Amino acid sequence: MIVLNELTQAIGDLDEEKVMEMLAEFVYSKPTENEAQEVVNACQQGMGIVGDLFEKGEYFVGDLIFAGQLLTEAINTLKPVIGGKSASKVGTIVLGTVHGDLHDIGKNIFRSMAEAAGFVVHDLGTDQPVSNFVEKVKEVNPDIVGMSGVLTLAIESMKDTIDGLKKAGLRDGVRIIIGGNPVTKEACEYVGADAFTSNAAAGVKICQGWVR
C-alpha cells in the first residue's frame, strides 16, 4: 500500500530512486483509476513542496529542471493505470517566449510547474510573433497569457504582444503574466501586464490566485 504523504515528500526531496521504486510497486499492485488519480495528486503536491523550497532559496533553477523531469517520469510510469480519466483542470494558459528571443528554459520550468498545479498549458514555443499569441488566444480562450523572455529586447516584444492583444480586442478577457530575467515592476507597468515574476514557482501561485 502506497503512503501518499511519503510519496509527496519523496518528490519534494527530489529523491528519484525512492519515487520510482514506490511507483513501480504501486503500478504492480493493479490499483483502480481513482487510486491512481490520488497518486498523481500526491506527485503534484510534491511539486508544490519543490516550489516552496525554491522560493525559500533552498532549491535553484537546476533543481526545478530536475523536478520537472522527475514528474514527467513519474506520470509516464503511472500512465498504464491512470486510464482515460483526466485530472480536474483549474484553468488554461497560453504560454510562449516572445519574438526575437530564443530562450526556453524558464518557460519550460513554468510550464511543468503550471501543469503540475492542474493548468492546461498551450505552449507556443520560442521567438513567437504577436500574431501567434493573438490567434491562439482567439482559438482556446484562455484564462491567462504567459510571456517569457531572457534578453532585454524581450521587454519591447512583450509590449508589442500585449498591444496586439489589445488591438484584437482580447486584452480584457485575459490576465497577463510576464516572466524571465529582465522583467521588473517597471517593465511590467511599461508593457501593460498584470503581473511579473522571475520565479516560476511564484508565477504559478499568482496564476492560481487568478483562477480561484
Partner 1 sequence: MDHANKVMIEQSQQRNQNFIDIYEGRMPKKIPIAINIDGAAALEYAGKNLILDQYSADEMIEAMDYTNGLFDTDLVVGFSSRLPSYYKILGARNYVMGGDGFMQHPNINGIEPEDYDELINDPVKVCWEKVIPKFYSELAKPAPYNMIALLKMYVSMKNVMAKIGPAAAHIAAKYGKVTQKFYSKRTRAPFDLLADTFRSFTGISIDIRKYPQKVLEACEALLPLVLKMGIPAEKPSKTIRVGIALHMPTFMREKDFAKFWWPTYKRMVEYITEAGFGVYMFCEDDWMRYLDYLKELPAGCEMQFEYGEPKIIKQKLGDKHIIEGLFPISLLRTGSIQEVERKTKELIDILAPGGNYIFNLDKGILRASDAKVENLQTLLKCIREYGVY
CB of 201 to partner 1, least distance (A): 14
Footprint (CB under 8 A) of partner 1, residues 88-127: 99-105, 108, 126-127
Say how far apart CA 117 and CA 113 lie, in whole Å: 6
Footprint (CB under 8 A) of partner 1, residues 126-145: 126-127, 129
Of the residues 21, 25, 33, 58, which one makes contact with partner 1 according to CB under 8 A: 58
Of the residues 3, 25, 33, 61, which one makes contact with partner 1 according to CB under 8 A: 61
Residue whose entry in the numeric block shows the C-alpha cell 498504464 = 80
Distance (Å) of CA 154 to CA 92, 150, 157, 202, 204: 23, 7, 5, 20, 21
Beta bridge partners of 91: 119
Nearest to 128 by CA among 145, 143, 112: 145
Q: Does 202 bind partner 1 (CB under 8 A)?
A: no
List interacting residues with partner 1 (CB under 8 A): 14, 16, 58-63, 65-66, 69, 99-105, 108, 126-127, 129, 151-153, 156, 182, 184, 186-187, 190
